């Protein structure tokens, strides 16, 4: 039955790639109408429907299907499938600019990261990093990326490690550090995996760097690559990727002072995005997209969806200032060298212990699982040769790790 369920998924995705989405959905629904499927395979078939809906840019359908998948699983121990559903649920909420709902389910993927597919853990981490960066909390964003990178180093997953390195360039670019992004681009492999149903598309990061350079040669090269990728995505009906490519083409033509072409491509991107409330592919492109949206709204004052995206930009700008002030708060760690045996993460936990936080509260502060905090504490006690929190804090004060 497992092979049969896989066949249902392959057939459905194949129909979507050929542009026959109605038939793709019908294949799934026809399969689910049969009562022979146990809960785990029924949930897995719903996962295939999530793939179809994500590639089709159907966010409303994606949210409904991923929630149905979780209802089918209930409290059964299907960690892989649960992580798939939570990833898609989080991705859908994020792309609709619903940060709170996205964060809560994506953190669940990270909580189970040692037991589930590392690709989904990585992309869940990427989205969380984007959320925190958009809130002005660069420290939290960096912590998430450090965590997933350290976990993948332990398992030596070369494919996921390559994608994480590629995202580091994207992350640097979003932080406004073009030189760092270009430096990473010289060594990263952005073609390790073709665009599938994952949030981050590595192939677009070098193109974004070319756009940011804004020289005649870089813009010419970016245009060639974007047109090529747009043609590829049309051939395999990747509407989710096309939204971002069309938005990037709009920015490119705007930089080349071809406003007619810029407006045409922006309207095409918005036309694909509007039915399902797809917002972040515009907002994540930053300030240049704001200028382009304002031009479009000036020409078409009744363009309500362009106004909605612009309002998302403006709301984010208002939120960043207070969040940024919180992000600059550093742990109360002294400038003296730490004890050689303690890791960076263990040292980060010490000031939180001093605040009297519980394991759960420390986990929330550091964006890690409670069980991970417990493991770190056990290691701290062992390395410091102490038995509890009070003794640990006394010891680290004596050796100068915290004030």
Closest CA to 147 of 169, 126, 117, 171: 126
Do 144 and 45 lie in one domain? The reply is no
Do 392 and 370 lie in one domain? The reply is yes
Do 103 and 149 lie in one domain? The reply is no
pLDDT reported for residue 169: 94
CATH number of the structural domain spanning residue 105: 1.25.40.10
The structure's pTM equals 0.78
Residue at 366 is within a domain: yes
Measured in degrees and rounded to the nearest 5, phi and psi for residue 333 equal -110, 130
pLDDT reported for residue 121: 93
Domain boundary among the residues 86, 115, 144 is at 115
Residue at 279 is within a domain: yes
Do 15 and 40 lie in one domain? The reply is yes
What is the span of the domain harbouring residue 25?
1-115
Residue at 332 is within a domain: no
Torsion of CA 97, 144, 209, 253, to 10 degrees: 0
d(CA 109, CA 91): 12
d(CA 397, CA 403): 6
pLDDT reported for residue 320: 56
Residue at 338 is within a domain: no
pLDDT reported for residue 330: 37
Do 27 and 67 lie in one domain? The reply is yes
Do 87 and 46 lie in one domain? The reply is yes
Do 177 and 241 lie in one domain? The reply is no
Structure tokens at 108: 């669940």
Is 163:200 a contact under the CB 8 Å cutoff? yes
d(CA 173, CA 66): 31
Do 1 and 94 lie in one domain? The reply is yes
114 Cβ contact partners less than 8 Å away, ≥ 6 residues apart: 151
Do 147 and 76 lie in one domain? The reply is no
Residue at 335 is within a domain: no
Measured in degrees and rounded to the nearest 5, phi and psi for residue 402 equal -130, 160
Residue at 303 is within a domain: yes
Is 226:248 a contact under the CB 8 Å cutoff? yes
Q: Which residue has the tokens 């996205």?
A: 102
d(CA 289, CA 217): 21
Residue at 10 is within a domain: yes
Do 122 and 106 lie in one domain? The reply is no
Domain boundary among the residues 115, 133, 166 is at 115
Closest CA to 399 of 346, 336, 310, 321: 336
pLDDT reported for residue 119: 92
pLDDT reported for residue 327: 43
From first to last of its 403 residues, the chain has per-residue pLDDT tens of 889 999 999 999 999 999 999 999 999 999 999 989 999 999 999 999 999 999 999 999 999 999 999 999 988 888 888 999 999 999 999 999 999 999 999 999 998 888 888 999 999 999 999 999 998 888 899 889 988 888 888 777 888 999 999 999 999 999 999 999 999 998 889 988 888 899 999 999 999 999 999 999 999 999 999 999 999 999 999 999 999 999 999 999 999 999 999 999 999 999 999 999 999 999 999 888 999 999 999 999 989 999 999 999 888 876 654 444 444 433 333 333 334 467 767 888 888 888 888 888 888 888 777 777 887 888 888 888 888 888 888 888 777 676 5
- Where does residue 174 rank: exposed (0-12), middle (13-18), buried (19+ CB within 10 A)? buried
Q: How far is CA 327 from the centre of its chain?
A: 20
Helices of type H across 202-286: 204-213, 216-235, 239-255, 259-273, 280-283
Question: Which CA distances in Å does 387 have to 100, 354, 378, 384?
Answer: 38, 16, 9, 9
CA count, 13 A, side-chain hemisphere, 54? 26
Beta bridge mates, 402: 333
pLDDT reported for residue 173: 93
Do 18 and 108 lie in one domain? The reply is yes
Do 296 and 356 lie in one domain? The reply is no
Residue at 207 is within a domain: no
pLDDT reported for residue 157: 82
Domain boundary among the residues 72, 88, 115 is at 115
pLDDT reported for residue 383: 82
Total domains in the fold of the chain: 4
Measured in degrees and rounded to the nearest 5, phi and psi for residue 112 equal -100, 20
The shares of helix, strand and coil residues in the chain, as percent rounded to the nearest 5, are: 75, 0, 25
pLDDT reported for residue 340: 47
């Amino acid at each position: 039955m497992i092979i049969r369920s896989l066949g249902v998924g392959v057939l459905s995705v194949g129909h979507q790639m050929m542009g026959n989405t109605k038939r793709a959905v019908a294949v799934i629904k026809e399969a689910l109408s049969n009562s022979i499927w146990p809960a785990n395979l029924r949930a897995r078939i719903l996962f295939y429907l999530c793939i179809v809906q994500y590639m089709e840019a159907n966010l409303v359908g994606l949210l409904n299907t991923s929630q149905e998948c979780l209802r089918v699983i209930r409290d059964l121990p299907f960690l892989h499938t649960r992580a798939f559903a939570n990833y898609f649920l989080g991705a859908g909420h994020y792309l609709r600019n619903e940060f709170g709902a996205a964060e809560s389910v994506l953190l669940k993927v990270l909580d189970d990261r040692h037991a589930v597919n590392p690709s989904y853990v990585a992309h869940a981490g990427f989205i969380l990093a984007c959320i925190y960066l958009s809130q002005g909390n660069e420290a939290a964003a960096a912590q998430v990326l450090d965590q997933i990178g350290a976990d993948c180093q332990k398992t030596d997953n070369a494919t996921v490690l390559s994608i994480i390195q590629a995202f580091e360039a994207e992350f640097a670019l979003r932080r406004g550090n073009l030189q760092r992004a270009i430096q990473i681009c010289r060594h990263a492999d952005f073609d390790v995996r073709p665009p599938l149903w994952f949030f981050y598309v590595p192939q677009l990061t070098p193109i974004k760097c070319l756009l940011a350079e804004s020289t005649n040669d870089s813009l010419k090269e970016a245009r060639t690559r974007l047109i090529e990728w747009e043609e590829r995505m049309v051939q395999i009906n990747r509407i989710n990727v096309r939204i971002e490519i069309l938005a990037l083409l709009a920015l490119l033509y705007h930089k080349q002072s071809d406003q007619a072409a810029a407006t045409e491509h922006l309207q095409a991107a918005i036309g694909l995005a509007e039915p399902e409330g797809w917002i972040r592919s515009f907002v994540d492109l930053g300030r240049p997209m704001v200028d382009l949206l304002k031009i479009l709204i000036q020409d078409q004052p009744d363009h309500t969806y362009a106004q909605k995206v612009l309002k998302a930009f403006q709301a984010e700008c208002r939120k960043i200032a207070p969040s940024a002030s919180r992000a600059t708060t550093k742990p109360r760690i002294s400038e003296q060298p730490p004890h050689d045996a303690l890791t960076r993460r263990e040292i980060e936990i010490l000031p939180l212990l001093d605040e009297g936080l519980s394991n759960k509260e420390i986990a929330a502060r550091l964006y890690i699982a409670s069980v991970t905090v417990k493991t770190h504490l056990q290691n701290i006690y062992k390395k410091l040769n102490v038995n509890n929190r009070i003794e640990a804090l006394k010891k680290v004060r004596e050796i100068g790790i915290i004030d």
